[in-house]
Chains A and B, each alone.
Chain A
Amino acid sequence: MSNEIVNRIKGLVGEDHVVDSPAGMVRYLKGQGQPLAVVMPGSTVEVAEIVKLANKENLKVAVGGLSVESRGLDGGLAMVMSGMNQVLEIDHANLTATVQPGLSHAEFSRILAEQNLVFPPEPYAPKTGSVGGCFALGGADSQAFQYMPVRTYLLGYEMVLPNGDILEVGNKCIKNVSGYDMIHFAVGSRGTLGIFTRLLVKLLPPPAVKMALVADFASLPKACQAIATLIKRRIFPTRLNLLNPTLAARIDPGAKGNLVMVDLTGFKNSTELLAEEMAGIFHLAGSGEVRIVKEAEAYAKLWQEWLDLRGELNTTWAERVLDFNVGPMKLAAVLQALADITGDLAAYPGLVVEGLLGRVRLLLPAAGEKEEMAVKVNTLAMSFGGNVSGNFGSKLVCRAYNDAEMWEGIESLLGQIRRQFDPKGILAPGVSL
């Protein structure tokens, strides 16, 4: 039976695009699940045919750019989109691009740079992240204060739905309120609603000037104070990130303490003035060393280091990361209170703060502690008007409020939507809502 299915799939996409030996599949899989085969479709029609087959045979299907999460995928199909990795169109007049979902995010950025264009979202993982994955995961990155969350860059898409139907929505207009907003609703759905086969994304012209500031702070509270001062003085750089010494050392081996990393992009006059002003603020706030990075190569290297670190947090360390949000002006107080739970944050395995968003990520010593820590951290975050991110966070909030009814309301609605689209539950079995 299973052989026959593999053969039919080979018939659909060609033998070269199916891997079914356990040894061959390893490089495409994350986790311990054992799918029937890894399949690499080359077109929308192929994706649709595979999904129809899976639907008929009740096979689970999970999708990835270069590698696929195999949890819950035993006996199912791992769909790798690397064969659909083309840039189909770059439209300079309308500042849009049409791409296939398997296109590497990093590669896309490189191609655009050559054409003097920018796709602002940070890659989820620079080495393995695809554009399709970027939108499947959604969220808001450290530039979101200025550039807005990831979803705002999706203008339309083509998607194969769990029943094999092909859905096309969106257009090159940045204003569009026709019908339900399926466009942004798909962002962050992690492959549960369908499989992207084509994406229409929004681009920006590059900023006139880019520069960075790196400030070394021996004291974490002082670094937080510096961030608060910037916000109070209404200085909002593109990124305003903070790393504790453990992680700072990875980016800058010379770093002695906590590192505040600032990205400034914009017009020449204001950017230069702001850089000077911020350097002054950091000095006064107690930074031992402030560097202004203007040279292009050094600037690029610095932010590549940041993106690599972000990639590690999102992938390798994902199980150890606890992610929560509070208002940006509350960071100093939150971190002080957090130290009561974690002990000295300077010595902690990892602390990353995205200052303008008030987002804090903790790298826990071990994965096993996550649930217990999450409850404590969520309680703390809630007392500052925030909460642990995502669905997990919502659940914790409901639990903390002892509001089982609300949680039930959310959960049943999420479940209802998923069932409406995927009644047999074949897509993204590893994703639980």
Chain B
Amino acid sequence: MTDKEIIEQLKKIVGEKNVQADKIGLTSYGYDATLLSGVGLAAVFPLSTEHVVKLVKLANEAGFSLIPRGAGTNLSGGTIPDERSVTVNFNRMKKILDIDTDNFVAVVEPGLVNFDLQAELEKEGFYYPPDPASYKATTLGGNLGECSGGPRCFKYGVTRDYILGLEVVLPNGKVIQTGGRNFNSEPEYDLTRIIVGSEGTLALITKIFLRILPLPAAKKTMLAIYNRVEDASQTVSDIVAAGIVPTTLEMMDNLLINTAEDATGAGLPRDAGALLIIEIDGHPEDMDEQVETIAGICKKARVREFKIARTAAEVDQLWLARRVVIGSVARRRPSYSLQDITVPRSMFPNMVSGILQIAKERNLEVGILAHAGDGNMHPLVLFDQRIEEEVERVHLAEKDICTLALELGGTMSGEHGIGLLKKKYITLEFSPVAMDCFAKIKNSFDPRHLLNPGKIMNLQS
């Protein structure tokens, strides 16, 4: 089939309005939130499972590949097309099919935006815990593809922990349901878990059964400022050891405290080593006891300022620095590369000092933002993409950071995925045996490598 014929066929399947194959459209579907880009054959917008089945069958016949895409906000190059691929945009499949608060289940289509689901759930006093920072824009299908986390997941877990079941279209065009509306519904192998986080390389998700929870009755927000990162880190360990599981333990380092202060002028001490935002939730009766314990722990760790929000406005105030932080680095340099390494909690201080060392060696500015409770860190490496030589150094620093995380017993990706961006480092994390297992999984689902080829790892087809 010629490209032109393929596009005609695509239009027949999803309708003229749901295909983009013009220059402007293809340019617009060639990028994501990384510096990578490509140009595909076409971008399509299926509206139903049936459309997806037909697209898969056509892909099999005509020999092009399919790249599932939600909002294209991923940080791994996971939706970058090539000239033999058709981007499948799920964002027009965005219905909420069922919200069953009695039984803690919501059933949705994959193109639904995480925020739009939360807004509906909130009306019923419920929520869906995974809240990636991009939740206002990202689709749930995209969240599943990458197995997104978020600030809340220290207590509540990541995306895979909230998926009860899926309806998927397999690369052979067959539709199957994995799991169901309850725990214990999986047919032996946990197909749901292997598909969640597979970055769109195993199956196309067309329906999602999510676990939802009632909103917690009470919440407390605290802010702690330290002279040294080690002290903040000690606080985190001690809080966990005390049996308190905060929903949020967000940390910012000295550089980010300064850029945030540049942006807000809120009066953060510019010589502070680290800032920690601590949030707990649960029964109203338990809040004071936990706040007291946390205050004690912070004091023991030589906290220099400790604030507890008393009103909603104060909660807002405590979050202010964290909210503006990413934007605030744009004042220093136009671009940033956001890494996603995770290390065991005990290795946190080593990782922080290691990153600062790397920054020095590579002559780059790096700010560290971390979900400190789970050891997931987002070093923001600042640069200007127009300076090629600097971009080179950024890439070297990225590799240094990944390598260090692995040396400290961690992983390259806590919540963003591998995609194209970190593919070249994946063998640093996984042995040939593990890589072989990945290949076996891929080949079981997708022997012809039709789905998102070249992502996560290179395979010979």
Binding site for B on A (CB under 8 A): 91-96, 138-140, 144, 148-149, 151-152, 161, 165-169, 171-182, 184-185, 187-190, 205-208, 231, 234, 266-270, 273-274, 323, 325-330, 357-359, 385-387, 389-391, 393-395, 397, 405-406, 408-410, 413-414, 416-417, 419-421, 433
Q: Is the CB of A178 within 8 A of B413?
A: yes
Residues of B contacting A359 in the complex (Cβ-Cβ under 8 angstroms): 182-184
Question: Are B170 and A409 in touch, CB under 8 angstroms?
Answer: yes
Q: How far is the CA of A346 from the CA of B95 in the complex (A)?
A: 43
Asked if B286 and A179 sit within 8 Å, CB to CB, the answer is no
Cα distance, A190 to B176, chains bound together (Å): 22
Residue of A nearest to B153 (CB): A175
A413 lies within 8 A of B191 (CB): yes
B residues less than 8 Å from A144 (CB atoms): 183
Total chain B interface residues with beta-carbon distance under 8 A: 89
Take A327-B181, A390-B187, A413-B191 as given contacts and tell me if A269 and B289 are in contact as well, using a CB distance cutoff of 8 Å.
yes
CB-nearest residue of chain A to B343: A173
From B105, B411, B442, name the one whose CB has the most chain A CB atoms within 10 angstroms.
B411
Q: Across the interface, do B414 and A177 meet the contact criterion of CB distance under 8 Å?
A: yes
Chain B residue nearest to A326 (CB atoms) is B182
B77 to chain A, nearest CB (A): 15
Give every chain B residue within 8 A of A152 (Cβ-Cβ).
157, 161
Q: A168-B434, A188-B189, A327-B102 are in contact. Are A178 and B170 (CB under 8 A)?
A: no
* Contact between B283 and A409, CB atoms less than 8 A apart: no
In the complex, the answer to whether B411 meets A178 with C-beta atoms within 8 Å is yes
The B269-307 residues at the A interface (CB cut-off 8 A) are 282-286, 289-290
Nearest B residue to A183, CB-CB: B193
B345:A138 contact, CB within 8 angstroms: no
CB contact under 8 A between A169 and B430, given known A174-B374, A181-B196? yes
A181-B194 in contact (CB<8A): yes
| B146 interface contact, C-beta 8 A | yes
- Bound-state CA distance A20–B409 (Å) is 42
Q: A390 near B375 (CB under 8 angstroms)?
A: no
- CB-defined contacts of B193 to chain A, threshold 8 Å: 151, 181, 184-185, 187
B259 within 8 A of A: no
Q: A190–B436 Cα gap in the complex (Å)?
A: 21
The residue from B240, B411, B433, B440 contacting A420, defined by CB atoms under 8 A apart: B440
Closest-by-CB residue of B relative to A409 is: B174
Q: Which residues on the B side are within 8 Å of A391 (C-beta)?
A: 187-188
**B343 — which chain A residues lie within 8 A by C-beta?**
173
Q: Which residues of A sit under 8 angstroms from B289, Cβ to Cβ?
A: 267-269
Contact B243 A410 (CB under 8 A): no
B172, B344, B456, most chain A CB atoms within 10 A: B344
In the complex where A174-B374, A205-B243 touch, is A168 in contact with B431 (Cβ < 8 A)? yes
Shortest beta-carbon distance from B194 to chain A in Å: 5
Q: Which residues of B contact A405 (CB under 8 A)?
A: 174
Pick from A151, A175, A267: contact of B286, CB under 8 Å: A267
Interface assignment of B246: CB less than 8 Å from any CB of chain A? no
CB pair A93–B438 under 8 Å, yes or no, is: no
Residue ID in chain B nearest A414 by CB atoms: B189
CB distance from B84 to the nearest CB of A (A): 23
Which residues of B423-444 are within 8 A (CB) of A? 426, 429-431, 433-434, 436-438, 440-444
Asked whether A269 and B283 contact (CB < 8 A) given A152-B157, A385-B181, A387-B180, the answer is: yes
Taking a contact as CB atoms under 8 Å apart, the answer to whether B411 and A266 are in contact is no
Q: How far is the CA of A141 from the CA of B249 in the complex (A)?
A: 29
Instruction: Let me know if B182 and A273 touch, CB within 8 A.
Output: no
Selected A-B contacts with CB under 8 Å, 24 pairs: A95-B240, A139-B183, A148-B157, A149-B183, A171-B411, A174-B154, A176-B413, A177-B147, A178-B418, A178-B422, A181-B193, A185-B441, A267-B285, A269-B285, A323-B184, A387-B180, A389-B185, A397-B180, A409-B170, A413-B170, A414-B189, A416-B445, A417-B189, A419-B444
CA distance A397 to B285 in the complex (A): 44
Residues of A within 8 A of B183 (CB): 139-140, 144, 149, 325, 357, 359
In the complex, A269 Cα to B292 Cα: how many Å?
14
Residues of chain B with a CB closer than 8 A to A406's CB: 174-177
Top 6 nearest A-B pairs (CB, nearest first) are A327-B103, A270-B283, A409-B174, A329-B102, A325-B182, A140-B183
- Out of B154, B182, B417, which one reaches A358, CB within 8 Å? B182
**Nearest CB in chain A to that of B182: its residue:** A325
Determine if B214 is an interface residue (Cβ-Cβ < 8 Å): yes
**Bound CA span A92–B172, Å:** 47
B100 touches A327 (CB 8 A): yes
Determine the residue in chain A with the shortest Cβ distance to B196: A181
- Contact between A176 and B174 (Cβ–Cβ < 8 Å)? no
Task: For B429, give the chain A residue with the smallest CB separation.
Answer: A178
Q: B184 — which chain A residues lie within 8 A by C-beta?
A: 139-140, 323, 325, 357, 359, 389-390
| Extra A-B contacts (4), CB below 8 Å, given A167-B437, A179-B434, A394-B185 | A173-B343, A181-B160, A205-B240, A327-B103
